[in-house]
Amino acid sequence: MTEATVMDLANGALTVALMLGAPLLIVTLVTGLIVSVFQATTQIHELTLTFVPKIAAVVIVLVVAGPWMLSTMLSYTTNIFQSLAAFGH
């Protein structure tokens, strides 16, 4: 296994991890920002108010983007297992 192969594997793993994590993180960030603006304007500072919308938004994103996330992860894993024999040489 050469250095280029290891770098390609690491690059692919990081790319897939960013692709799978980005939708959840972006939605959580935007939801948190909207709730924070709402709390600042209404001066309601309830700690549990931030968690419920974030959890609901993450569940919605998982329902909507879940099949795409699963197919992306499965295709990457399948490619890794198919090229496993080439890694030994």
**Residue-level pLDDT at 89:** 64
pLDDT tens, position by position, 32-81: 999 999 998 998 888 888 899 999 999 999 999 999 999 999 999 999 99
The answer to whether the Cα torsion of 72, 73, 74, 77 is positive or negative is positive
Task: Tell me the C-alpha distance between 45 and 48, whole Å.
Answer: 9
Residue 22, pLDDT > 90, answer yes
DSSP state, residue 48: G
The answer to whether the pTM exceeds 0.85 is no
